[in-house]
Chains A and B, each alone.
Chain A
């Protein structure tokens, strides 16, 4: 019974645990990538060993996740490519006009279109999206692929 008062008064030193937690928070804050929210991870990309590393420049990107049905996956929802691309092209033209450049409908846009399509998507459906992009003025494309098979095999 005599040890009870001293046990009640015991206060653990929280400073080291707080230090460690702040270090962990700093780590997670540094590695967080909000851009990856636009990538649909349910798609199985093809594996191409010689694909170049993704450029992380500050250029204007338009990421298109194309599923097996040829539809665009935008933040978890399916969208029709034609109307979505028209809207995005208009937005890109508006951005250019805000910067002082006049661009007509169908003119070449500097936006880099990143294609992330499932490896089993038939070409017929993929080509519809590519043609829609070209019709709306997109000329620069980057076809995304995995550089190695998930699980470590190359």
Chain B
């Protein structure tokens, strides 16, 4: 019994030195605080960019569509031409062959583009499957993204969203 009591007392007296553990814990904490970077609030627009050779020029496609011997085109492409101003803003925009507006892009012009695209994609018998953006060299990525945003909101005749968008560089003088 005496031995047992002695053993119990010895176990009760054991005290861990927490200071060393606390030092280590503070070092770990300092590392995590210093390397902590909150994730930015980012979103993305998913696109399938077809290979460059598969994209056809709209005039060539128009000529092919009109030719009864050639038959219907495999992928109907709607061309949007965006001419850029020197400052990276939009100078003018043309949807198909019709000019939409002249001047920089703003909210009302984006709505105008949205309405026009909705009208174009609603036309029966001419199912567009992809959009070809002919973009001026100096157009800013920010401005381009606003236009892509409007394009990806459109739906094709079968109800699927438009995600086949291709780009070519507009040869500006």
Contact = CB atoms under 8 A, between A and B. Distances in A.
Contacts of B127: none
B43 A144 contact: yes
A29 B49 CA distance: 38
Given A21-B29, A31-B36, A145-B145, A139 B41 contact: no
Interface in A24-49: 24-25, 28-29, 31-33, 36, 39, 41, 45-49
A123 B143 CA distance: 10
A18 B29 CA distance: 11
Binding site secondary structure of chain B:
mixed
Interface residues of A, number: 54
B149 A50 contact: yes
Given A130-B49, A145-B42, A145-B44, A21 B26 contact: yes
Interface of A: 14-15, 17-18, 21-22, 24-25, 28-29, 31-33, 36, 39, 41, 45-55, 114, 117-124, 126-127, 130-131, 133-135, 139-148, 150
B43 A51 contact: yes
Contacts of B146: 46, 48
A146 B41 contact: yes
A113 B144 CA distance: 18
Contacts, number: 150
The prevalent SS among residues of A at the interface is: mixed
28 contacts: A14-B22, A21-B22, A21-B29, A24-B29, A25-B28, A31-B36, A41-B37, A47-B142, A48-B43, A51-B44, A54-B43, A54-B44, A119-B141, A119-B145, A120-B141, A122-B139, A123-B84, A123-B139, A123-B140, A123-B144, A124-B137, A127-B169, A133-B49, A134-B52, A135-B52, A143-B44, A143-B45, A143-B145
